[in-house]
Amino acid sequence: GENVEQHPSTLSVQEGDSAVIKCTYSDSASNYFPWYKQELGKRPQLIIDIRSNVGEKKDQRIAVTLNKTAKHFSLHITETQPEDSAVYFCAASVGSGNTGKLIFGQGTTLQVKP
């Protein structure tokens, strides 16, 4: 079945450093790859997404890269701040077209130390 693997499970960085989280997916039909930030007890919040027709997307300190051939995508956060501390999830859409179904990775707990 469809699967998304996410690494690392925990990541600790100093404030101002960069953080990188990587995901691989199995469904070759996946065409939508969102990243969510989730604070304790709250809903996942979409922070950036990328669609299969582009290889990179950037929004201020956050960027996502996609390699469809290798079936992996990555989240890059630069100039990290303590408020970036949270759990981050990657996800991949299931099936071809806009199915509205997502498979999530297991999450990465990011700690930014002041």
Partner 1 sequence: ETGVTQSPTHLIKTRGQQVTLRCSSQSGHNTVSWYQQALGQGPQFIFQYYREEENGRGNFPPRFSGLQFPNYSSELNVNALELDDSALYLCASSVLHEDNEQYFGPGTRLTVT
Residues at the site binding partner 1, with contacts judged by CB under 8 A: 1, 4, 6, 31-32, 34, 41-46, 49, 89, 91, 93-94, 97-107
Please report how close the Cβ of residue 36 comes to partner 1 at its closest, in angstroms. 8
> Which lies closer to partner 1 via its Cβ, residue 23 or residue 77?
23
> Which lies closer to partner 1 via its Cβ, residue 73 or residue 89?
89
> Which lies closer to partner 1 via its Cβ, residue 67 or residue 99?
99
Please report how close the Cβ of residue 106 comes to partner 1 at its closest, in angstroms. 5
d(CA 109, CA 92): 19
In 15-102, alpha helices (H): none
8 A C-beta contact, residue 108 and residue 87 = yes
Quick one: DSSP state of residue 97? Answer: S
Q: Tokens 């501390």 correspond to what residue?
A: 85
CB atoms within 10 A of CB 101: 11
Please report how close the Cβ of residue 47 comes to partner 1 at its closest, in angstroms. 12
